[in-house]
Amino acid sequence: ELVLFNATGSQEIARCDLPARDGDIWHGLAPQLKVGFAYGYRVHGPFEPDQGHLFNPHKLLLDPYAKGLVGQHIWDNSHYPYVVERQNPDGPLDTRDNAPFSTKGLIVDPARLTSLARGPIVPWRDTLIYEMHAKGFTMRHPQVAEPDRGKFAGLSRGPALDYLRALGVTTLELLPIHAFVHDRFLVEQGLRNYWGYNTLNYFSPHGEYGAHDPIGEMRDFVNSAHEYGFEIILDVVYNHTCESGRGGPSLSFRGIDNAAYYRLNPQDKTQYADISGCGATLNANNPHVRKLILDSLAHWTDAYGIDGFRFDIAPSLGIDDLGNFHKDAPFFQECAADARLKNIKLISEPWDAAGGYHVGDFPAHWADWNDQARNSYRQFWRGDRGKARSFAEALSGSASLFADQGKPAYASVNFVACHDGFPLYDLTRFAHKHNLANGEGNRDGGDHDFSCNYGIEGLNVPVEINTLRERQAANMLASALLSCGTPMLLSGDEFGRTQGGNNNAYAQDNVVSWLDWSVAASPAGRARLALTKRIIALRKQIFAENAHTDTNFNIGWWNVWGGPMSEADWNNPDTRCFGALFEHGGWFIIFNASEADARFVLPPLQQGVWQQHLNTAQPDRPAGDRVATSGQTIDVMARSLAVFKHDISRTIGKSGHGF
């Protein structure tokens, strides 16, 4: 049953039965339909929870394919298919009408969604991802007009895009911008779902991110970003919806066909198979659900010009009914064969909430977030024993995870920090999470961040501790950005953002999460930003000279005595200082995670000198002002990273300074 409303969704206009059926499609003639009308569905069928059926015609349901939305979702007990006050999801049936509190679909003029040109195709080898939040990036930006702050419009103006281009990143990855709902338990505590991993609709942009016209403003942003040379990647959530698990509301999918859209427990269909950790999981084993996902992806690539997608809890798309993951599952095959999705970047979050772990297991054309590399950067620089080998593995592209599977090094997405967990600099400020503001008694959020406060918890510390923290953050950042693979930088880490010790700020739609641009403008923030730009420029130079292969980067590993690393060196749990020599370009990086200064013999290459291009212990020194001869012994400061380039055309003279 189709229900039509006026343009604001506040007044019902007509109801139209859909009496005809072809296969699984119900249809009918609705002559009253006009562009700009709001609409929804009421679906008739059995309310039989023991069979997985939760039909209830008293509930107005959002069309899963709605291209635009009207009205803000308001939580009310009428949204539930059962009488929620009875606290029994098996019944009785609730007969209250939820339409006054529901988000409706909007009949959008197709002319507003004409094909939008895709952006520049950045080769994986040149890609540098910047993970950002559509609202949080500009919410406190002093150069963005007040009405545009926190909106798509704010991102499409000069201040945001000029800044990002100067930073040197190539690809902007937005946290979820599909329409989502703020969880009821958060709203009742005065909180909101900031990250947006609580999808209501997979075809419409989130209304709060539009000042007046979310569709047009999102398209304008993508167009502007493309003109600046950026790719746009969306973080998408096809593993669960805002309807949560057993006892959740019927807002769209559940009321239309609960047993088809969600994975049910075959032994007890009142229960859900929860791979997502959010109560229920979309059923990608159902062909109609797969079609919905593929149609959604195609809609965003066509109507919005989106260049790629990062899939939250991606294993859910390839897990069969027995719980086994298959990289040739129907979804992956259909995605690869879909001409609408040609030449887009596909990135997985390759683990799930049910213990599944599949880094490197996704199809050949996918890249994967690499948490093993992330942990290695953090543990090695923290000074943990026995981490030299895993750190070197991460630096060289995690071959055991990717190259051994026939995948290129660029399939490894390397990062120190992402939206989930501590930001980069908080990894050096807090040894423990401080999440009380989330309203869960500090129980939420991970407990294994591999962080260190270097003596005192929090932001206010003596100068000597702060100096060490700055260096350690620079060490981790440089390690990730200079590793073989695809680097990813968390928004704000380039200038030292903080979340005050909160490592799960999903519910902090406030100054905890919004970027504080006064930090970026401070002397410390400017210095961090300058260093980040310098590291990014170094990465581009190093990898341009080592771009002959996508799969195996040939790196030689050197010990402090100027010889190749031996098995004994790798197996020594106290090995914390060694170097990496790239095959091409003469680039050499020394890593010293020890608490003591080291004497390091530079590789004895013939002719020329070693020029220092970066030293995290002396970040202000210009490139090339310190030189050393091949085979010379130099001092490397404790807990520091230094980058050298071999220059065969130069000798040490008046223009240079030795070590």
Residues with active-site annotation:
312, 349
- Residue 626: other Cβ atoms inside 10 A: 21
Residues with Cβ within 8 Å of 355's Cβ and at least 6 positions away in sequence, in order, are none
The Cα diameter of the chain in Å comes to 90
| H or E segment to which residue 609 belongs | strand 609-615
Phi, psi of 382 (to 5 degrees): -70, -20
Quick one: which of 454, 448, 447 has its CA closest to 430? 454
**CA 86 from chain center: how many Å?**
39
Q: What is the DSSP letter of 94?
A: P
Residue whose pair of structure tokens reads 């195609």 in the numeric block: 298
- Residue 649: other Cβ atoms inside 10 A: 7
Helix (H, G, I), strand (E, B) or coil at 336: helix
Written as one letter, the residue type at 434 is: H
| H or E segment to which residue 21 belongs | strand 20-22
| H or E segment to which residue 468 belongs | helix 463-481
Q: Are 481 and 643 in contact (CB under 8 A)?
A: no
CA distances from 418 to 136, 212, 371, 537, 551 (A): 14, 30, 10, 21, 25
Q: Tell me how far apart the alpha carbons of residues 152 and 166 are, in angstroms, rounded to a whole number.
A: 20
Residue whose pair of structure tokens reads 């296969």 in the numeric block: 23
Two tokens, residue 231: 């790719």
Residue whose pair of structure tokens reads 């939760």 in the numeric block: 54
Q: In what order do the strands lie in the sheet with 38-41?
A: 12-16, 2-5, 38-41, 104-106, 69-70
Q: What is the DSSP letter of 499?
A: -
**CB-based contacts of 562-566 (< 8 A; 24+ apart in sequence):** 562/600, 562/601, 562/602, 562/603, 562/604, 562/631
- Residue 651: other Cβ atoms inside 10 A: 13
CA distances from 593 to 377, 576, 641 (A): 10, 5, 8
| H or E segment to which residue 579 belongs | strand 577-582
Tell me the sheet residues that pair with 99: none
- Residue 1: other Cβ atoms inside 10 A: 17
Q: Are 60 and 38 in contact (CB under 8 A)?
A: no
Q: Are 609 and 588 in contact (CB under 8 A)?
A: no
Q: Tell me how far apart the alpha carbons of residues 612 and 629 are, in angstroms, rounded to a whole number.
A: 11
Tell me the sheet residues that pair with 89: none
Tell me the sheet residues that pair with 345: 308
Quick one: which of 244, 226, 84 has its CA closest to 164? 226
**Number of residues that make up the chain:** 659
